Amino acid sequence: MKKVLACAAVALNLLAIAAAANAAPIQWTVSDTSFDDGGTVSGSFVYDADTNVYSNIRLTTTAGTAGAAATFSTRCTTAHCLASLPELLFIASSNQADLTGVPLLDLEPSAPLTNTPGTVDLAFGMSFLCSNAACTGVGPGLRAAFSGTLTGVPYVAPATPTSVPTTSPVGLALMATLLAAATWVYRRRRS
């Protein structure tokens, strides 16, 4: 009976490890995306489909004839933005109380993003400045993208740096003094 329980425990642990390995978030990289005004979109973000959480958002647009360059590091979470799913809406501000004049980036994948690595075509994308506080309207700088790709690979979080212990200058001076004293005692005994 103990062997059966031990085998069952091992099997359950292996299943738990396999399930945890499959639940890894995916880093999606935007590439080959150009706006109709000559500007481009590049960068990446991490998405966990199990929890619907976006993180490490690092997207940038370059200037074109209609729109300006902007950096996007936040997902738009106003009621209007959330109602427009499955579009991916990113803003260039962390303050979502008043988005008037804030650049918005809209990326619309051709298929929902999952926790499976692969490539998803970009069905449509656009960039503009929000015209009001909730960003329910399109302001100036409107430009569109009609092609591009989102390439997903398993996200590997950067390793946290470990601190290397060091000795303070006072500690080094004390150690040198003790070493000198030990050397003096050793030589004194030898002679």
Q: Which tens digit of pLDDT belongs to each residue from 158-177?
A: 887 776 777 777 777 777 78
- Integer Rg of the chain from CA: 28
Rounded-to-10 torsion of CA 38, 35, 57, 22: -130
In order of 55, 65, 120, 178, the CA distances from 124 in angstroms are: 22, 19, 12, 72
How many other CB atoms sit within 10 Å of the CB of residue 135? 24
Tens digit of each residue's pLDDT (9 = 90 or more) over 125-150: 999 999 999 988 899 999 999 999 99
**Rounded distance between C-alpha atoms, residue 148 and residue 157, angstroms:** 26
Would the pTM count as exceeding 0.85? no
How many other CB atoms sit within 10 Å of the CB of residue 18? 10
Give the residue from 24, 36, 183 showing the smallest Cα distance to 114.
24
Taking 50 as the pLDDT cut, the residues of the chain under it are 1, 4-21
Residue pointed to by tokens 């690595």: 117
CB 58 within 8 A of CB 44: yes
How many residues are recorded in the chain? Answer: 191
3-state secondary structure of 134: coil
Mean pLDDT of the chain: 84
